[in-house]
Structure 1
Amino acid sequence: MVIYEYKLAGNKLQYAAIDEAIRITQFIRNKCLRLWMETRGTNRNDLQCYCAQLAKDYDFAILLNSQARQVAADRAWASISRFYDNCRNKKPGKKGYPQFQHDCRSVEYKQTGWRLEPDGKHITFTDGCGIGRLRLIGSRDLATRPLPAITRVRLIRRADGYYAQFAIQVERHIEHIPTDKHTGIDLGLKAFLTDAEGNTVANPRHLRKAERKLKRLHRRLSRTQKKSHNRRSARKKLAKGYLKVQRQREDFARKTANALITSHDLIAYEHLRIANLAKNRKLAKSMSDAAWGRFLLWLTYYGHVHNIPVIAVEPAFTSQDCSACGARVKKSLSVRTHICPSCGLVLDRDHNAALNILEKAYRTVGQTGTGGAQASPNASGQTASTRSGRKVRAGKRAG
């Protein structure tokens, strides 16, 4: 599945019609959720049937395309099923009981309710909401895409305008050029990542850099009168500021992941429980600003596209164990240098962790039978005996 996104060019009446379609989507989702709360044993099929009843009971609901109403019911069921899964799996803490939505920003169509023009640069919505014909602003050509390949069309409202997303059913594969290089990466806050060769990628800190401007916009918003035109304008400027930070994080995560995948044949990383780590009040903002989750998502995606292994290993003791002799050296988070009293190895803490992550990945590959058990390199980058007794050069595939 590939998503193509375009900005929409229309007039104020068309944008108001999109807002109305989004409000109807939110209304149907919340009504379906209310039905589930009040009626024991409600399943997904009951919610789908309830959409037709809502269209009869409310004149405005029938304006939205029938399949778009079904998607709204599917959104309600997605939150319900997630709650069921969390309860069944005995997830610790809150189970995520479904909540009513107050800030819906998108409406989704399936195969009906819209028509792509032959030029591939315009789309027309044919349901009763009155959205009409909109121009698509983007560089990707949709005219060459067969219509059956487009499975969903989603309209999204953002701070800087309205967008259309096309979900296209296609398998994407890129011919990977072998590099004979393996690496482990350790994610951090001082440096965004450190690999097994000691190379680092600086932490961009997008939110920290924009914080001064965002605080000023927050102050302007707080000084405006509620329900005034100035308040709406101030809210829009503030939302654009946060949207820019979000896009900067996404762009950085995507480009960094792509660069790693194209330059290696195997990548190992720590399987971090980011939500648990973010409970630390002193580090929560910095962790969120680093956007490790988005980076790992793109890393896994590009690994699938290039058909190279991206292995998640358990993070236990990767920073404490010595990458040369295996001795466990206890250290606090403030200690940034690994000094082993057993073998005398002196190494940056993150570099040592990256080597241990790669070593764990080799053991994982050997246990799963997807490849031979391989040893990790010595921190110095020179050929040296490892804990498993084999010899290997840093960043290279084991022989």
Structure 2
Amino acid sequence: MIIYEFKVKGKDAQYRAIDEAILTSQFIQNKCLRYWMDNEKVGRYDLNKYCAVLAAEFPFADELNSMARQAAAERAWSAIARFYDNCKRKIKGKKGYPKFKKHCRSVEYKTSGWKLSLNRKAISFNDKKGIGTLKLKGTYDLNFYDIKQIKRVRLVRRADGYYAQFAVDVKVRIETEPTRHIVGLDLGLKYFLADSDGNTIGSPQFYRKSECQLNRANRKKSKKFKKSAKPQSKNYHKARNRYARKHLRVSRQRKEYCKRVAYSVIQSNDLIAYEDLNVQGLVKNRHLAKSISDAGWSTFRKWLEYFGFKYGKQTIAVAPHNTSQNCSSCGKRVKKSLSTRTHVCPHCGFVEDRDVNAAINILKLALSTVGHTGTYAWGDLPSWAVGAILLSNGESVNQESHSLSSVGVSMS
């Protein structure tokens, strides 16, 4: 499955219709979640049947396509199934009890409710919401695929406009020549990553570089806000949109950078080892939370695992415990604080950069597990494959750029 995304162009009335469809999808998702909470032994198909009950009870729900209603119910069930799975696995901490959606940004259609034009440059939605025909602006060409291969269509609202995403059922596996090289990666804050060969890639710090502009835009937004005004003025919404677009730009920069580095690593190696970091737990450190979030470790891991699956390369996540403290030469424990950036072993005299030393340890751990655990050291699915359909926030980890064929980031 691969995702193609286009920006859609329409009239203001059509955009309002898309917003209405998104709100309806959110309403159905929340109603299905409430139905599951109030009744015992409710399954996936029970939620799909409940969509028909909601359509009969609420006229605005009946205006949405029946398969779009089912897709909203599937979103609710996805959260429920994840909660059940976390409980069965007995993960530490909170199990992710499903929550009601407050700010949904997308509506998803399955195989009905939409129709592409003959040249595949426009899409029409034929339910009663009145969205009509929207022009598709993008560089991808849908003519290469049969209509039956398009399994889902999603309309997404973002700060800079509306987008259409197409989930196309195609084979993504590509055979490549082996490079006969393996590498261990250590993700950090000083360097974006350091590998076991001694190479490092600097951290771009997109948020840090844009922080002054973001703070200025946020102050301007706050000045336009009036506490007693309902609704807020048009100037406030304009300032709010400008602020959101700046954040969207930073997010896209980080995603594209992680994608390019991951692609370069996969193309250069046959086996890639990396730490199985608990980023959700690490960001609870209030002194480092901003820097960790700006680094984009989770995004990089998702793209690394996706490209590894696509090009048939092994990606192995290993436990991060003591990878920075152990000496990669003799294996002895050498205690050091975060401020100590150079590893100096008093036992064998080995001197190396802290992150490079950790990368070597990560590779050794991966090689000790690859013989009996398979591609993924913990036996789980790769993170990009969890929830094989489109992500609920409108993003997609396997949404590639044409520019990846000429990647400008290298490990050397």
TM-score (norm 1): 0.90
Residue in structure 2 matched with residue 81 of structure 1 by the alignment? 81
> Does 1:206 pair with 2:206?
yes
Residue in structure 2 matched with residue 244 of structure 1 by the alignment? 249
> Does 1:52 pair with 2:30?
no
Q: In the TM superposition, what whole-angstrom CA distance separates every residue of 1:181-230 from its partner, at most 9, and x where no partner exists?
A: 21101000000000111111110111111110111111111111341111
Greater relative contact order (Cα < 8 A, sep 6+) = 2
CA drift of 1:10 comes to 0.7
C-alpha separation between the residues in 1 aligned to 2:18 and 2:367? 52
1:63-102 matched pairs, under 5 angstroms? 63-102=63-102
> Does 1:125 pair with 2:125?
yes
1:218-229 matched pairs, under 5 angstroms? 218-226=218-226, 227-229=232-234
1:333 to 329, 332, 338: 338
Residue in structure 2 matched with residue 30 of structure 1 by the alignment? 30
What is the one-letter code of the residue matched to 1:249?
R
What is the one-letter code of the residue matched to 1:140?
Y
C-alpha separation between the residues in 2 aligned to 1:174 and 1:349? 36
| Corresponding residue pairs, total | 371
CA drift of 1:360 comes to 1.3
CA drift of 1:369 comes to 7.9
SS of the aligned residue for 1:143 comes to helix
**8 A Cα contact 1:7 1:137, kept in partner:** yes
Residue in structure 2 matched with residue 276 of structure 1 by the alignment? 281
C-alpha separation between the residues in 1 aligned to 2:335 and 2:349? 15
CA drift of 1:362 comes to 1.5
SS of the aligned residue for 2:27 comes to helix
Provide structure 1 residue ranges, at least 5 long, that are not aligned to the other structure.
Answer: 371-394
SS of the aligned residue for 1:157 comes to strand
**8 A Cα contact 1:224 1:230, kept in partner:** yes
Residue in structure 2 matched with residue 362 of structure 1 by the alignment? 367
C-alpha separation between the residues in 2 aligned to 1:347 and 1:283? 24
C-alpha separation between the residues in 1 aligned to 2:374 and 2:9? 53
What is the one-letter code of the residue matched to 2:349?
G
Residue in structure 2 matched with residue 387 of structure 1 by the alignment? none
C-alpha separation between the residues in 2 aligned to 1:111 and 1:225? 43
C-alpha separation between the residues in 1 aligned to 2:42 and 2:373? 42
1:65-214 matched pairs, under 5 angstroms? 65-214=65-214
C-alpha separation between the residues in 2 aligned to 1:105 and 1:260? 33
SS of the aligned residue for 1:185 comes to strand
Q: CA RMSD in A?
A: 1.5
C-alpha separation between the residues in 2 aligned to 1:47 and 1:142? 33
C-alpha separation between the residues in 1 aligned to 2:18 and 2:116? 17
C-alpha separation between the residues in 1 aligned to 2:326 and 2:39? 55
C-alpha separation between the residues in 2 aligned to 1:319 and 1:274? 17
1:336-351 matched pairs, under 5 angstroms? 336-351=341-356
2:328 to 304, 323, 329: 323
> Does 1:311 pair with 2:316?
yes
C-alpha separation between the residues in 2 aligned to 1:93 and 1:123? 45
Residue in structure 2 matched with residue 61 of structure 1 by the alignment? 61
1:235 to 217, 231, 240: 240
Residue in structure 1 matched with residue 394 of structure 2 by the alignment? none
**8 A Cα contact 1:177 1:262, kept in partner:** no
What is the one-letter code of the residue matched to 1:237?
R
Q: In the TM superposition, what whole-angstrom CA distance separates every residue of 1:348-391 from its partner, at most 9, and x where no partner exists?
A: 11111111111112211234488xxxxxxxxxxxxxxxxxxxxx
Q: In the TM superposition, what whole-angstrom CA distance separates every residue of 1:121-147 from its partner, at most 9, and x where no partner exists?
A: 111111111111111111111122101
C-alpha separation between the residues in 2 aligned to 1:266 and 1:86? 29
Residue in structure 2 matched with residue 377 of structure 1 by the alignment? none
What is the one-letter code of the residue matched to 1:330?
K
Provide structure 2 residue ranges, at least 5 long, that are not aligned to the other structure.
Answer: 227-231, 376-410
**8 A Cα contact 1:114 1:124, kept in partner:** yes
**8 A Cα contact 1:28 1:69, kept in partner:** yes
Identity of aligned residues (%): 55
C-alpha separation between the residues in 2 aligned to 1:92 and 1:341? 37
SS of the aligned residue for 2:287 comes to coil
Residue in structure 1 matched with residue 267 of structure 2 by the alignment? 262
Residue in structure 2 matched with residue 378 of structure 1 by the alignment? none
C-alpha separation between the residues in 1 aligned to 2:313 and 2:97? 38
SS of the aligned residue for 1:249 comes to helix
CA drift of 1:177 comes to 3.1
C-alpha separation between the residues in 1 aligned to 2:96 and 2:247? 26
Moved more, 129-138 or 29-38: 29-38
SS of the aligned residue for 1:312 comes to strand
**8 A Cα contact 1:67 1:112, kept in partner:** yes
C-alpha separation between the residues in 2 aligned to 1:98 and 1:65? 25
SS of the aligned residue for 1:321 comes to coil
1:298 to 303, 315, 320: 303
Larger radius of gyration, structure 1 or 2?
Answer: 1
C-alpha separation between the residues in 2 aligned to 1:131 and 1:170? 28
SS of the aligned residue for 2:59 comes to coil
What is the one-letter code of the residue matched to 1:276?
G
TM-score (norm 2): 0.87
**8 A Cα contact 1:51 1:69, kept in partner:** yes
